[in-house]
Amino acid sequence: MIPMHYIPNTKDIEKEILQAIGVEKFEDLIKNIPDKFLQKCRIKLPESLSELEATKKIGRMAGQNLDTDSMVSFLGGGSYDHFIPAAVDFLIGRSEFYTAYTPYQPEVAQGTLQSIYEYQSMICHLMDMDVANASMYDGATALAEAAIMAVNKTRRNKVLVSELINANSRKVLETYLQTKDIEIQYLPELAGVTDLRKLDALLDDQTAALLIQSPNFFGNIEDLNGIAEKLHANKSLLILSVNPVALALLKTPGELDADIAVAEGQTLGIHQSFGGPYLGIFTAKKDLIRSMPGRIVGETVDIDGKRGYVLVLQTREQHIRREKATSNICSNQGLMALAATIYLALVGKAGLKQVAKLSLSNAHYLAEKIAALPNFSMAFEKAPFFNEFVIETPVPAEIIVKAALEEQFFAGVDLGKFNEKWKNRLLIAVTEKRSQQEMDDFINFLSKF
């Protein structure tokens, strides 16, 4: 083996290690694996490169990626191209924050705890809910944890799930629930929204909760007035998944009397990236706090009466309750929660409203213009939407998405990827970042189809 800068062991060290273990060569350590399996593992790698050569090669490969800095993006479906003030990245990049993980020796990390406490306070305010945890991996895992929490709390084993929950979140939910004895029953779609008329017939004494998302996967706003009342009369919980930016304009989970409200927090100052890191926002009513997964920071006073922060309700967590813990989540998405906190502090109430209003008016401008094109139409004429909508395309959406790349557009999400019968549907998201010129250029591009 050629010594490399990024492999710390030298030949001599390797020899010393093998000697200490009492074997001659590395292969002796794996000789209990039958040779026929080892043969399959042997990969023919090219000659090794120097660090300079490797950097050049990988840099060139990475350069082939397209991103939202060089493209005009109408991509959504759970992740949105909002503007991120430079201060967010600068501040979370400070070494005091950047290297810190979720606090395991919490009380010595007062700064970290305070930032999480501020995060929880802002999130409660935004969602209009009583309590928030210190965050979870992403919106999808927060949703799955919410379903499990409802099942544990109600001691029932069925959840009703809207078909218009984000398609990727649904997959995560199904993965989480498959090892538990929890049945999923889907509520179907009707004209772009969840067919809630079916709710009464599906509710029974085993229904732990209804899981619904608004704006839904198609971007449409669900009419949830009176839904919580129906669920509560059946002792079932309402679990609502929302877009935090939309809350600046729409009814909050609190106003809709949701018991648990979750969200993907990427829209709050976090970059779009494949696979994350994203941010799982998790909130609930106060009387559910002891059933809530994850970490929670509280404020208290020390022996001299000075303000201090602590991790509270740890008795629910794994390091104390072991296999009986409320959840196997003993962590939080610390850095991303901090990014959201800084973003919210920077833009403030008025700023968030402005982001939401601009996104909404841009989206409605674009939707009207596209619907006016001879070969395009809105997939759902009547459903109200926030900043995302579905159009019917004259050719498969896949073709439009590919052609758009040549013109420096990310045209949107091809819904055919999720369902064959949606192959002529394109999901388009618009944020405050889109200028009138960019939208008019995009309409001009679409008009060629």
Q: Which residues contribute to the site for other proteins (CB under 8 A)?
A: 155, 290, 315-316, 320-321, 324
Place of tokens 């841009």: 362
Q: Which is nearer to other proteins, 316 or 423 (CB)?
A: 316
Q: How far is the CB of 292 from other proteins (least distance, A)?
A: 13
CA distances from 371 to 74, 76, 254, 390, 427 (A): 16, 19, 35, 10, 13
Q: Which is nearer to other proteins, 315 or 436 (CB)?
A: 315
Q: How far is the CB of 347 from other proteins (least distance, A)?
A: 38
Q: How far is the CB of 320 from other proteins (least distance, A)?
A: 6
Place of tokens 């809350």: 247
Q: Which is nearer to other proteins, 35 or 323 (CB)?
A: 323
Q: Which is nearer to other proteins, 293 or 334 (CB)?
A: 293
Q: Which is nearer to other proteins, 103 or 334 (CB)?
A: 103
Q: Which is nearer to other proteins, 60 or 155 (CB)?
A: 155
Q: Which is nearer to other proteins, 31 or 290 (CB)?
A: 290
DSSP character string of 282-348: EEE-GGGGGG--S-EEEEEE-TTS-EEEEEE-GGGSHHHHGGGSS-S-----HHHHHHHHHHHHHHH
Q: Which is nearer to other proteins, 57 or 235 (CB)?
A: 235
Contacts 24+ apart (CB under 8 A), 408-412: 408/70, 408/71, 408/72, 409/71, 409/72, 409/73, 409/74, 409/441, 409/442, 409/445, 410/66, 410/68, 410/71, 410/72, 410/73, 410/74, 410/75, 411/74, 411/442, 412/74, 412/75, 412/76
Helical spans, DSSP H, in 155-270: 167-178, 199-202, 227-233
Q: Which is nearer to other proteins, 23 or 320 (CB)?
A: 320
Helix (H) or strand (E) holding 392: strand 388-392
Report the distance separating Cα 36 and Cα 14, nearest Å: 27
> Within 10 Å of residue 413's Cβ, how many Cβ atoms?
25
Helix (H, G, I), strand (E, B) or coil at 235: coil
Report the distance separating Cα 227 and Cα 127, nearest Å: 18
Helix (H) or strand (E) holding 334: helix 334-372
Q: Which is nearer to other proteins, 17 or 320 (CB)?
A: 320
Q: How far is the CB of 155 from other proteins (least distance, A)?
A: 8
Instruction: Tokens for 314, please give them.
Output: 């740890």
Place of tokens 């609502």: 240
Q: How far is the CB of 312 from other proteins (least distance, A)?
A: 11
Contact 122, 341 (CB under 8 A): yes
Q: How far is the CB of 293 from other proteins (least distance, A)?
A: 14
Q: How far is the CB of 61 from other proteins (least distance, A)?
A: 51
> Taking each helix axis from N to C terminus, what angle separates 139-154 and 167-178, rounded to the nearest 10 degrees?
40
Helix (H) or strand (E) holding 147: helix 139-154
Q: Which is nearer to other proteins, 66 or 320 (CB)?
A: 320
What is the 8-class DSSP label of residue 347? H
Q: How far is the CB of 321 from other proteins (least distance, A)?
A: 6
Helix (H) or strand (E) holding 160: strand 158-162
Instruction: Tokens for 160, please give them.
Output: 């009703």
Q: How far is the CB of 325 from other proteins (least distance, A)?
A: 9
Q: How far is the CB of 317 from other proteins (least distance, A)?
A: 10
